[in-house]
Structure 1
């Protein structure tokens, strides 16, 4: 399966779609599981008075558990949904979240695209507010826009610690899927630490992003830039893309979505708000400019170094222009994308073995990775 980033919903010319493209999902919650456990116990005791009592207790307890979970959902939605907005550009729409009470809104870089002016609709409001671009960082697919005249009562979200996100935690995805503003879907954290390469297109370079949160909560076009939230009403990620199944002609793979983690969001957003650019992405870098390299059979066989940054990681390790990188750690490097993916899974300061060829001879260098900037 491959990811698709087509989650900036094209701007509709007529009524927003509500028909066959909408998919209903049903969560089998803890209440249902509790009931199943009680029924299994009753079956084992062959209908004795004890089993009847247990079944009766289970029938009483199950609605309570279900109601508690339902109440938690509603409380989270009430706390966070007012902070999720719809962003409209000349070419489409997506979602965003209120970052502070000064009118800054964080979203995906692919939502803003090349636009610099936007219309923003707050939750439960039909009014559109003007906004302008603060800064965009496509390498992490994040951007910040700012309301030109911020209204009073803006409710910034609270970010959770993405380092504590664990598989199995319940998540709610909030945004404007298919143009349906203030929509909520639910699921769980399916995996953490995913490295995902987005498709190119729409002015996007096809960023490779590490440490993403995988979720089963439905993410559809228009959800991009919205909030992925835990049951503590904390944003743990920004909904960014869903996987597609090439065997199904590129149709979305049900229940496989990805969100940029909160630690990355706050790091990038703070820099964009402060200076309009990113100088410390927190991502590993070699300090090189590279191009594809092909062998004698015209097959991808590495990446050729075009230039090295003076005093940078590669230069300090003895790498130079003309060298062909073929391996990073245990990962074989055949394309520029494979190099980017390998680096996305590493951290600045890591010392890594880099295999390369120079004038046809193979060698290795021990490189202490630096930090990718703007």
Structure 2
């Protein structure tokens, strides 16, 4: 057997004990959905709301062939991740979730699960685009919802393996397969994002999805100005628009400000990066933000607030998808 195939088979063997088959029955209609989940810890499983709804009667089958009852304890309205909980401790250890920043373009991956209801399927490919943001139109009202931390992959995501893991050749989970607004694209949620969302649902009952109330573009500063002003980095996000009633306005952000760093001095490369940093906090927190304004560095405090209208968010069809960036901060 060639080395490449051997490495892939070994990676599949490593992750397989952490992959579960899900059967979800809707009591009112009797409709049954089949899909895949991945073990987060010994009592919780991550899957997708394409398969499981809170009112469903859920059965999971683990790698040892044993069936167990599970309960849906939360569905995230932005990523449509769902978290299942079992009463009996799962006998299999969770897989390794790849940390943020370890899924470069070109990384070889495999989408694992129970595609079309079949046992232990895999579809291979590469990461085509990493840390991607997709903008979805709100179900009601104007504006878009930014969905950060997505992976575009050439690995085929079939009905049935959505909710399962996207793995690398080390057997690490680099993403969770499939989102319902993918519009023909094979998209996965970064493992670090999925783990954060699921853990917050378990701990708080909801996941944190902040908005900024401003938008802009990243620009580079000449080295001589970096040295003269003793700047923390040579680039930042130039604010082009500030919403009239949003966290940015309340923090004092102005148009033409250059945001240099957020939180613990992490440089800013996109609005999505700022949202990801804020998502690790709680609503109501005030996060320090370093801003360059007219040649002077100042510090503002950006409040962590929920995206408006998120609780009214409903699934929409692929035909309604808007994958092109738009002003999501109005």
Q: Structure 1 length as normaliser, TM-score?
A: 0.55
Q: Which residue of 1 aligns with 2:2?
A: 67
Q: Which ranges of structure 1 fall in alignment gaps of 5 or more residues? A: 1-65, 245-251, 288-301, 320-326, 330-341, 353-366
Work out which of the residue numbers 187, 190, 197 in structure 2 matches 1:258: 187
- Is 1:93 aligned to 2:93, yes or no? no
> Match for residue 144 of structure 1?
83
- Deviation of 1:198 (Å): 5.8
| Separation (CA, whole Å) in 2 of partners of 1:99 and 1:73 | 22
1:371 is displaced (CA, Å) by: 3.3
| Cα offsets for 1:293-329 (capped at 9, x unmatched) | xxxxxxxxx9997xx57xx44334499xxxxxxx999
Distance 1:368 1:227, change over 3 A: same
Determine which of 268, 287, 304 is the counterpart of 1:371. 304
1:106 matched to 2:39? The reply is: no
Q: CA deviation at 1:221?
A: 1.5
Match status 1:218 vs 2:146: no
Structure 2 unaligned regions, length at least 5: 26-30, 215-240, 258-269, 279-286, 292-299, 312-330
Alignment of 1:81 with 2:16, yes or no, is yes
Q: Provide the aligned length of Structure 1 versus Structure 2.
A: 242
Q: What are the within-5 Å matches in structure 2 for residues 1-374 of structure 1?
A: 67-90=2-25, 91=31, 92-101=33-42, 103-115=43-55, 117-123=57-63, 125=65, 127-151=66-90, 153-197=91-135, 208-241=146-179, 243-244=182-183, 252=184, 256-278=185-207, 280-281=208-209, 283-286=210-213, 312-317=247-252, 344=272, 346-347=274-275, 348=278, 370-373=303-306
Deviation at 1:93, TM superposition (A): 2.6
Please say which structure displays the higher CA radius of gyration. 1
Distance 1:275 1:116, change over 3 A: farther
Contact 1:351/1:369 (<8 A) preserved: no
Q: Distance in 1 between matches of 2:248 and 2:57?
A: 38
The verdict on how the C-alpha distance between 1:86 and 1:369 changes in structure 2, with shifts beyond 3 A counting, is farther
Question: Counterparts of 2:188 and 2:49 in 1: how far apart (Å)?
Answer: 13
Retained in 2: the 8 A contact 1:89–1:115?
Answer: no
CA distance in 2, matches of 1:99, 1:328: 43
- CA distance in 2 between counterparts of 1:369 and 1:214 reads 31
Could you tell me whether the CA contact under 8 Å between 1:110 and 1:138 is conserved in 2? no
Q: Deviations over 1:180-226 (max 9, x none)?
A: 2421111111111211246889xxxx964212111111101222211
Residues 1:317 and 1:200: Cα distance change in structure 2 (over 3 Å): closer
